C-alpha cells in the first residue's frame, strides 16, 4: 500500500515542531549586547550538549496493560459470533484503515471479531482512536498490544477460539523506511514470525490471511502484474519486508501445515483512509490552498496507480477468509500439506496521478496549486496495474468502484469527519 511520493516523508507527528517558535522569536527580538552574549552561551550549550534521546520507533508499543478478568470478558465477548455459521477472527491492525473496515464487515455478518493494534504514531493517532470508537459501537473490542508480544498472542488464543487470523498489522509507507528502518523489521518481519509461531502452536491451528502488497512487483515492467511475475526487485525496504513476509508465510505453510493466503493490495483508498497517502494529503492541502507536488517520470511519463476502493478490497478479504481451507497441523507438527495461496487485489485500471488531482479538483471545487517534479528514486515505482483473474476465479473478487465514485465517498467522509472534529474543539 505504497503512497505515491508526493507527501513529505516525515510524518508530522514525529517532527520536533517545538523548536520552530523559538527560532522565530529570536529573529524578531531586538537583542542587546548582553542578551546576544547570553544567546551565544545558550547556543554553545546547545551545540555541545549530548543529542537528545532519539524518538521512539513508531512501532514501539506502549507498555500496555492486558489481562485480568474484565479484560478477558471483553475479549471473549468481542470474539463471540452471533451467527451459527460464522467464523471467529483475530484481526491484527484493526485500528488501521483496512483492518477497521474488514472488522466491521465481519461483525456485521455475524462473525466473532477481536481486534489487535499497537496504535503506533506513524500517523495521526486520533484517527486510529476514532476508528476504534466506530468498532466499539459495532461490538468489536481492540486489544492494545504488539504482534511481537508472544505472551499476549498466546493469551488471546487461550481466551478465544480463533478459526481465522486476518493479519493486517504492518509498518506501511515507502519513504518512511529511510528514517525508521527498524520499524519495518519489527512489525513486518519479527512481528509476523511471532504471529505465525503462535498460530502454528495453537490447537487447532487457525487459517491465516495476511496483507502483502503490490509493491513486491518492484521494478517489474511487465503489465498487468500477475501473481506469477517476478517479485525479486523490490524498490523500497517496505517492499522488501513485504516480499520477505511472503517467503516466511510459505515456510510456515510448508513446515507446520498452516493454511495461508496472501493478498497483494494495490493502493487502497476510501473513507477512514491513511493520511500518509497521496489522495488524502492532496485533499488536505488543496482545501488549505497549499501547493501539492505531483510527480512524473524523468522522461515526462506519468506516474499511475491502480487505485482500489476499500469496499472492493474488503470483499476480497472476506472472500479469502471464506475460501480458506483448514490448517492441517496440530501441536506444532505438520500432518499433511495445507493450502497456500497468493492473490492480487487491485482494480485493473491504473489512473495517472494528474487525473487523480483533476477528480479531486472537481469534487472539492478547488483548483490545485500543482508543482510537477520528477519522481525521486527513493522507493516509489512508476506505475502499478493488477491482473486480478486469479482472485476473480477463486475468491469471486470483482471490483465495482471506479476512482471518481470512490473519491466522492472519500471526500464526503473527509469533509464530515474533519469538520465534525473542528466543531467539537470550537
Ligand atoms: C520481538 O520480540 C522478541 C521477544 O519476544 C525480542 O527479542 C525482539 O527483539 C523483538 N523484535 C523486534 C524487532 O522488536
Ligand atoms: C492474467 O493472469 C492469468 C493467470 O492468472 C493469465 O492467464 C492471463 O493471461 C493474464 N492476463 C494478462 C492480460 O496478462
**Is a pLDDT exceeding 60 seen at residue 39?**
no
Residue 354 belongs to some domain of the structure? no
Distance CA 408, CA 403 (A): 8
Residue 415 belongs to some domain of the structure? no
| 172 CA to centre of ligand 1 in angstroms | 19
**Sequence-separated (6 or more) residues with CB below 8 Å from residue 128:** 95, 96, 117, 119
Check pocket membership of 185 for ligand 1, CB cut-off 6 A: yes
Q: Is the preceding omega at residue 204 within 30 degrees of 0, hence cis?
A: yes
pLDDT bin (cut points 50, 70, 90) of residue 90 is very high
Residue 365 belongs to some domain of the structure? no
Q: How many helices (H) and strands (E) does the chain have?
A: 14, 13
Residue 368 belongs to some domain of the structure? no
C-alpha cell at 416: 464530515
The mean per-residue pLDDT over the stretch 20-47 comes to: 44
Question: Which pLDDT does position 379 carry in this prediction?
Answer: 75
In ligand 1, the atom with minimum distance to the C-alpha of 189 is: 13
331 secondary structure, DSSP code: T
DSSP codes of every residue in 210-234: EEEEGGGGTT--SSSB-TTS-----
Judged on CB neighbours under 10 Å (0-12, 13-18, 19+), 424 is exposed
| 358 vs 422, more confident | 358
Question: Which pLDDT does position 327 carry in this prediction?
Answer: 97
Residue 253 belongs to some domain of the structure? yes
Range with lowest mean pLDDT among 151-160, 350-359, 370-379 = 370-379
Do residues 371 and 291 touch, judged by C-beta distance below 8 A?
A: yes
Distance of CA 330 to the CA centre of its chain: 31
Judged on CB neighbours under 10 Å (0-12, 13-18, 19+), 44 is exposed
| 387 CA to centre of ligand 2 in angstroms | 6
Residue 215, domain extent: 69-272+307-348+385-401
The mean per-residue pLDDT over the stretch 102-128 comes to: 97
Residue 294 belongs to some domain of the structure? no
Distance of CA 234 to the CA centre of its chain: 18
The total number of structural domains that make up the chain: 1
Question: What is the model's pTM?
Answer: 0.84
- Determine which one of 210, 238, 256, 279 is catalytic: 238
**Is a pLDDT exceeding 90 seen at residue 294?**
yes
Question: Which pLDDT does position 33 carry in this prediction?
Answer: 46
The mean per-residue pLDDT over the stretch 366-382 comes to: 89
CATH number, domain of 239, equals 3.40.50.720
Do residues 340 and 260 touch, judged by C-beta distance below 8 A?
A: yes
CB 254: neighbour CB atoms within 10 A?
14
- Picking from 147, 162, 166, 118, the residue whose alpha carbon sits closest to that of residue 263 is 166
Best residue for ligand 1 mutational test, from 145, 190, 193, 196 (most atoms within 8 Å of Cβ): 190
Residue 353 belongs to some domain of the structure? no
Residue 357 belongs to some domain of the structure? no
In ligand 2, the atom with minimum distance to the C-alpha of 393 is: 5
Q: How many residues does the chain have?
A: 426
**3-class DSSP state of 395:** helix
pLDDT bin (cut points 50, 70, 90) of residue 64 is low
Amino acid at each position: 500500500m505504497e503512497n505515491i511520493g508526493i507527501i513529505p516523508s516525515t510524518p508530522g507527528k514525529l517532527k520536533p515542531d517545538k523548536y520552530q517558535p523559538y527560532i522565530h522569536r529570536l529573529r524578531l527580538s531586538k537583542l542587546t549586547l548582553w542578551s546576544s552574549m547570553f544567546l551565544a552561551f545558550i547556543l554553545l550549550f546547545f551545540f555541545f550538549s549530548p543529542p537528545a534521546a532519539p524518538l521512539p520507533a513508531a512501532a514501539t508499543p506502549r507498555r500496555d496493560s492486558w489481562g485480568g478478568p474484565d479484560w478477558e470478558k471483553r475479549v471473549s465477548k468481542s470474539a463471540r459470533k452471533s451467527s451459527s455459521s460464522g467464523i471467529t477472527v483475530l484481526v491484527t491492525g484493526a485500528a488501521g484503515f483496512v483492518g477497521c473496515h474488514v472488522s466491521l464487515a465481519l461483525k456485521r455478518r455475524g462473525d466473532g471479531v477481536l481486534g489487535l493494534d499497537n496504535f503506533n504514531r506513524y500517523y495521526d493517532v486520533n484517527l486510529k482512536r476514532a476508528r476504534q470508537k466506530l468498532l466499539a459501537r459495532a461490538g468489536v473490542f481492540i486489544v492494545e498490544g504488539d504482534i511481537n508480544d508472544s505472551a499476549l498472542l498466546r493469551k488471546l488464543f487461550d481466551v478465544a477460539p480463533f478459526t481465522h487470523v486476518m493479519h493486517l498489522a504492518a509498518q506501511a509507507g515507502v519513504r518512511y523506511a529511510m528514517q525508521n528502518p527498524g520499524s519495518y523489521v519489527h512489525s513486518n518481519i519479527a512481528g509476523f514470525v511471532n504471529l505465525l509461531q503462535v498460530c502454528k502452536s495453537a490447537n487447532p491451528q487457525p487459517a491465516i490471511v495476511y496483507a502483502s502488497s503490490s509493491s513486491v512487483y518492484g521494478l517489474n515492467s511487465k503489465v498487468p502484474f500477475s501473481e506469477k511475475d517476478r517479485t525479486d526487485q523490490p524498490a523500497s525496504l517496505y517492499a522488501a519486508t513485504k516480499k520477505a513476509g511472503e517467503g516466511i508465510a510459505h515456510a510456515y505453510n510448508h513446515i507446520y501445515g498452516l493454511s495461508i493466503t496472501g493478498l497483494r493490495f494495490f493502493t487502497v483508498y476510501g473513507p477512514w483512509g491513511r493520511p500518509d497517502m497521496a489522495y488524502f494529503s492532496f485533499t488536505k492541502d488543496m482545501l488549505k490552498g497549499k501547493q501539492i507536488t505531483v510527480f512524473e517520470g524523468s522522461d515526462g511519463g506519468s506516474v499511475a496507480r491502480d487505485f482500489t476502493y476499500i469496499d472492493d478490497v474488503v470483499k476480497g478479504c472476506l472472500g479469502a477468509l471464506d475460501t480458506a481451507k483448514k490448517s492441517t497441523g496440530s501441536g506444532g507438527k505438520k500432518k499433511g500439506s495445507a493450502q497456500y495461496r497468493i492473490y492480487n487485489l487491485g482494480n485493473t485500471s491504473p489512473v495517472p496521478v494528474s487525473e487523480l488531482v483533476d477528480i479531486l479538483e472537481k469534487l472539492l471545487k478547488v483548483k490545485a496549486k500543482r508543482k510537477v517534479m520528477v519522481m525521486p528514486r527513493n522507493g516509489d515505482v512508476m506505475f502499478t496495474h493488477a491482473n486480478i483473474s486469479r482472485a476473480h476465479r477463486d475468491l469471486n473478487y470483482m471490483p465495482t468502484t471506479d476512482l471518481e465514485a470512490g473519491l466522492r465517498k472519500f471526500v464526503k467522509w473527509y469533509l464530515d469527519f474533519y469538520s465534525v472534529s473542528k466543531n467539537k474543539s470550537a
